Structure 1
Amino acid sequence: MKTGATPALTADCNACMGICCVAPSFEKSAEFALTKPALTPCPHLNDKDRCKIYRNLDWHGFSACAKFDCKGAGQYLTQVVYPGKSWRDNPELKAAMAESYRRLRRVHDMLEIFTLAEALPLDEDQETARQAALSSLTPEDGWSEATLKQSEADGLFASLQEVLTTFRSAYARR
C-alpha cells in the first residue's frame, strides 16, 4: 500500500489484523447475539484474525457484522500505521491501535464522501475545496498514530464537515 495515495476504500480482511472485531463494544441486540466490551476480541475471532462464523453471520445473530465495511481502514492500519505489529503481539498497543482505527474509519468515510462528490455539479471554488479535502485526507507520508491524533485535535473532521455544507448548492443543482 503506497502512502500518500488514495487508499482502497473496500475492506480486505486478509490484509488486516481483525481490529474491527476487537476495538468496538457491542450490546446484545437483534444485530449482535452477545455483549462485548471494547478492546476485547470477539469470541468468534480465530487466532489468524479471521471470523470463524463469517459465512453464517446472520444465522448466528450478527447481522451488523454482515453489513459492516471498514472501507479499507483496517488494512491501512495494519499495513501503514502499524506495519509488522499486531494487538496480539503488542497488547500494550491495543488501545492506541483502536483509537487510530477509529480515526482512520472517519478518514476513510470522508474520503468516500469527497470522492463521490466528484459526481456533483460543483463550481470552481467547490471543486478546489474538494481537491484540498482529498489532499488533507491523503498525507504524502501516509497516516501515523501521531498524525491521526494531531489532525483530529486540530479539527480536521470539523473543517471537512464545513466544506461539505458548501456542497449543498451543487447537490440541489444535480
Structure 2
Amino acid sequence: MPANLHNIKLEPDCANCAAYCCVALAFDKSTMFAYDKQAAEPCKHLDAKHECTIHDDLKTKGFRGCVRYNCFGAGQRVFNELFDRRSWRDHPEQAQDIFDAYRVMHNVHEFLAMLQAAKKLTLDEAQLRQVSVFEAELTPAAPWSVATLTAFQTSGTFEEIRNFFKSLGDKV
C-alpha cells in the first residue's frame, strides 16, 4: 500500500516496534548516555521482549538521550511495513538491513515532521511549493523498501532538504 502523508504517524509507538532505536543507533558515554554503545549492539538495558528494563528511571540512570530521542514513528513503520513485524533478534540474517532501513526511515520521518512545522511559518509561494515537492519525495507512491531507502539516502535529496531548512533560518 503506498504511503500517504495523512496516514503516516509521526509519533513513536514502541509497542509496535522491536526496539530498533535501542540497537541500531550508537551512543557515546556523556551526560546523555551512561556508557558507550556501538551501532547494531543491543543496549544492555534491553530485555528479551524488546523492552527497556530502566525505562521509568532513564534520567536518573544517566540516559537523558533516550528520554529526549524521538523516532517520529520510523520504528513501527520499518517493523510493520518493511519487515513484516520481524525482529532483529529472531532474524539475525536481516538485522543489518533492518538497522540500515531504520536509520534512513528515521531521517525521512524527521524531515516530514520538520516540513509540517515549516508550513506553520510565514513562507512565500516558492517555499510552500518546495515543501510540497519534498513531502511528495518523502512519501513516494510505491512503498519504501530497503533498496529504495538506500538509493534515496544517496540521491542528494537529503542534502537539498537540509539546505532548504537552513534557508528558513530567518523565519524561525
Could you tell me the TM-score, scaled by structure 2's length? 0.90
> Aligned ranges for residues 153-168 of structure 1 at < 5 Å?
153-167=154-168
Q: Distance in 2 between matches of 1:151 and 1:140?
A: 14
How far apart, CA to CA, are the structure 1 residues paired with 2:68 and 2:13? Answer: 15
After superposing the two structures, state which structure 1 stretch, 156-165 or 7-16, moved more: 156-165
Q: Give the match for residue 93 of structure 2.
A: 92
1:52-71 matches, within 5 Å, as 52-71=53-72
The offset of 1:162, in angstroms, is 3.4
Q: For 1:22, what is the secondary structure of its paired residue?
A: helix
- Counterparts of 2:163 and 2:93 in 1: how far apart (Å)? 36
Paired residues for 1:1-174 under 5 Å: 3-6=2-5, 7-167=8-168, 171=171
Deviation at 1:168, TM superposition (A): 5.1
Does the 8 Å CA contact 2:33/2:64 hold for their aligned counterparts? Answer: yes
Cα-Cα RMSD: 1.8
Q: CA deviation at 1:26?
A: 2.1
Distance across 2 between alignment mates of 1:132 and 1:149: 20
**CA distance in structure 2 between the partners assigned to 1:109 and 1:49 by the alignment:** 23
Cα pair 1:27 1:36 within 8 Å, conserved? yes
SS in 2 for 1:85: coil
**Percent identical residues:** 34
CA drift of 1:165 comes to: 4.5
Q: Give the superposition deviation at 1:161.
A: 2.4
Gaps of 5+ in 1: none
Normalising by the residue count of structure 1, what TM-score does the alignment of the two structures yield?
0.89
1:53/1:155 CA distance change after superposition, 3 Å: same
Alpha-carbon distance in structure 2 between the residues aligned to 1:160 and 1:26: 25
Letter aligned with residue 3 of structure 2? G
Shift of 1:82: 1.3
Gapped runs of 5+ residues in structure 2? Answer: none
Q: Distance in 2 between matches of 1:163 and 1:61?
A: 35
Larger CA deviation: 127-136 vs 116-125: 116-125
